[in-house]
Structure 1
Amino acid sequence: MEWLAAISPLSPVVSLGLILLSGVTSMISASLGVGGGTLLIMTMAQVMPAAALIPVHGMVQLGSNGGRLAMSWRHVHWPLLATFVPGALVGALVAGWLLIRLPSGVLELSIAAFVLYTLWGPGLPKRALGRLGTLIAGAVTTLLSSFVGASGPMVAAFVKQHGNSRQGTVATFAACMTFQHLTKAFVFGVAGFLFADWLWLILLMIGVGVLGTWLGLRLLHHVSERRFDTGFRVVLTALSLRLVWLGMTRLLT
């Protein structure tokens, strides 16, 4: 246990728990398409300093999504990604300039409302799914991701509207999130966050996360389109309702 005590400012038991949880949440994201990253950050928020939460989570998710992308790149919807990336760059630059957090509760409620509408409301108009809409989605979700850490459900809901297969949805979502989390290294590096203090914990969580991703992708091949769609909707809805509760709590306190 001595080596665990040296990998982060956290206790050895907490560090080990987060490393194992990274594998489980990566498997969830790979098999259902989304959900693991949000579950992970909710857990990390209970045991980590607030200043380290979003940058550490972002680097772990960079590794997890990057591993998923490497294993499923053949299914990526490249035109969608090519339009998403410039918007993400704009969002990252704005976040790096602001380096502030918007009013507590407002962001959570906004994300939840968008996801629930996308899942259960009328389909997004074609204009929203076009190049301009995708560009705006990339910018907005990247900006939000730098402040609240969990824009995954919002990006996943948008990607799903393009009607890709389950493999295409998972691969394209992983590609979008890989680039989005990559921008956090820039945003929080500019802000002066010391990644070196958490480097070993980040690397170990990424390593176990890659294993979880591999297992999750194997499971994905055995899930029917209908079951995947149902599971995807259930997970996103549950996460959105959680965000509603969290947003209302923060807004009223």
Structure 2
Amino acid sequence: MPILILLISVFATAFISGVFGMAGGLILMGVLALILPVSAAMVVHGVIQFVSNGWRAVLLVKWVMWRLLAIYLAGSLSAGAVLRFLTLELDKAWLFIILGLTPGLIWVPRKYVHLDAERPAHAVLCGFVVTGLNVISGVSGPLLDVFFTETRADRRAIVATKAATQVIAHTVKIGYYILPAIAAGALPQTHWLLIAIPLSMLGTTLGARVLDLMSDVQFRNWTKWIVTGVGAIYVIRGVLTLSGS
């Protein structure tokens, strides 16, 4: 049954990601954390999101901002180099709390934060902090979004470029957790990938078609409220877990 839940979640979250970007990954991470140990959840989430984001980037490849992506990569690789010397793995209660609080970043008043991923220095910082948060909590979409709110790009360029950056971030996350997950024998059998990967690609393709029907205003507003609602549920889950309820 957990595998069936996983496959349904893969399709649903890939579809949501195809439309709203970060929201799908946030939901999937929560589902995986419920049914798998943390290290295994991180690896499985990384693999699925690698495929989902990679396919989304392929579908929208003409919209990818390649210069920004190259600079982001430098920051991401720097984060990976630092993480080599650290051992980080949250327990499930704190994982849910941090997952739930992360969407709050998108509500920070823009008069206090002036980050623009199209500026080289900001792109390097984006790669470093987004990759770091992705390894710690499994999800970094809301933080990534903070760096894109000041860009002049439209929704397709934003989704395409964010998808490409997340391919990099999830690659680092997989590399960080794969050995602990294997050592613990916590990874599910690999045959589920034969179904999960095409499901992820199908969900992403359908979601991209819905994205074309939305306006930029609708895209930004719906994204905010969806991830905030999911985040609130995660915080409650984490607090209840800590209290032993």
Short-chain TM bin:
0.7 to 0.9
Report the CA distance shift for 1:175/1:27 in structure 2 as closer, same or farther (over 3 A): same
Instruction: Classify 1:239/1:132 alpha carbon distance in 2 versus 1 (closer, same or farther; 3 Å).
Output: farther
Report the equivalent of 2:88.
100
Q: TM-score, normalization: structure 2? A: 0.83
- Which of 134, 156, 160 aligns to 1:167? It is 156
- The offset of 1:181, in angstroms, is 0.8
Stretches of structure 1 lacking an aligned partner (at least 5 in a row): 1-12
Which amino acid in 2 is paired with 1:17?
Answer: I
Contact 1:91 1:143 in 2 (8 A): yes
Which residue of structure 1 aligns with residue 77 of structure 2?
A: 89
CA contact (8 A) 1:94 1:143 kept: no
User: Quick check: 1:225 aligned with 2:216?
Assistant: yes
Q: In structure 2, how many angstroms separate the alpha carbons of the residues matched to 1:197 and 1:106?
A: 23
- What letter is aligned with 2:136? F
* 1:201 matched to 2:189: no
Relative to structure 1, the CA distance from residue 68 to residue 126 in structure 2 (aligned partners, 3 Å threshold; closer, same or farther) is closer
1:116 aligns with 2:107: no
Q: What's the offset of the Cα at 1:77?
A: 1.9
1:134 aligns with 2:119: no
Q: How many matched pairs? A: 241
Query: How far apart in 2 are the matches of 1:111 and 1:162?
Result: 25
* Matched ranges for 1:2-21 at <5 A: 13-21=1-9
The residue that corresponds to 1:69 in the other structure is 57
Change (3 A) 1:193 1:132: farther
Gaps of 5+ in 2: none
Distance in 2 separating the partners of 1:116 and 1:198: 35
In structure 1, C-alpha distance between the alignment counterparts of 2:92 and 2:187, rounded to whole Å: 29
Verify the 8 A CA contact 2:43 2:174 in the aligned structure 1: yes
Contact 2:30/2:96, CA 8 A, preserved across alignment: no
Larger CA deviation: 86-95 vs 21-30: 86-95
* 1:233-244 map, 5 Å: 233-242=224-233, 244=235
Superposition pairs for residues 145-184 of structure 1, below 5 Å?
145-184=134-173
Match of residue 28, structure 2, among 9, 32, 40: 40
Displacement of 1:109 in angstroms is: 6.5
The answer to whether the Cα contact below 8 Å between 1:59 and 1:202 also exists between their aligned partners in 2 is no
Alpha-carbon distance between aligned partners in 2 of 1:245 and 1:163, rounded to the nearest angstrom:
36
Q: Which amino acid in the other structure matches residue 38 of structure 2?
A: A
Instruction: Look up the equivalent residue of 2:149 and give its one-letter code.
Output: K
Offset from partner CA, 1:177-229 (integer Å, 9 cap, x none) = 01111122322345463698543223422220100000001111111222112
Structure 2 residue aligned with 1:214, among 180, 205, 208? Answer: 205
CA RMSD of aligned residues (A): 2.9
The amino acid of 2:18's aligned partner reads A
Q: Determine the C-alpha separation between the residues in 2 that align with 1:203 and 1:157.
A: 35
> Separation in 1 of the partners of 2:99 and 2:121?
20
Q: Is the 8 A contact 2:13 2:25 kept in 1?
A: yes
